[in-house]
Amino acid sequence: MPFVNIKTPEAALSAEQKAEIGHRITDLLVEYFSEHARAHTMVLIEEVKDGGYYRADAPFSIPPQYRAR
């Protein structure tokens, strides 16, 4: 079973964007593994709260202009 785990800042993507990512990644994996893989492909998009991870030794918070509208 192909499994893809994506972590993104909380509120960076809209529900529609997450759905599109799920569909496009599934389609990509089907290209490699065959159509039989579609029913078994898992795409998990996890949202991490602001300050829940670090970049360059500092807590990361997504700037307001990059939040999903």
What CATH number did the domain enclosing 37 receive?
Answer: 3.30.429.10
Q: What is the helix (H) or strand (E) element at residue 32, kind and residue range? A: helix 15-33
Over residues 10-68, the pLDDT tens digits come to: 888 999 999 999 999 999 999 999 999 999 999 999 999 877 788 888 888 888 887 88
- How far apart are the C-alpha atoms of 46 and 35, rounded to whole Å? 26
Q: Could you give the count of Cα atoms lying within 13 Å of 68 in the half-sphere of its Cβ?
A: 12
Q: How many folded domains does the chain comprise? A: 1
Residue 69 above 80 pLDDT? no
Q: Which domain holds residue 26?
A: 3-66
What is the pLDDT at residue 56? 86
* Stronger pLDDT, 53 or 3, i.e. the higher one: 3
Helix (H) or strand (E) holding 45: strand 42-48
Report how far residue 37's alpha carbon sits from residue 60's, in angstroms, rounded to the nearest whole number: 36
- The reported pLDDT for the residue numbered 38 is 97
The answer to whether the predicted template modeling score (pTM) of the entire model surpasses 0.85 is: no
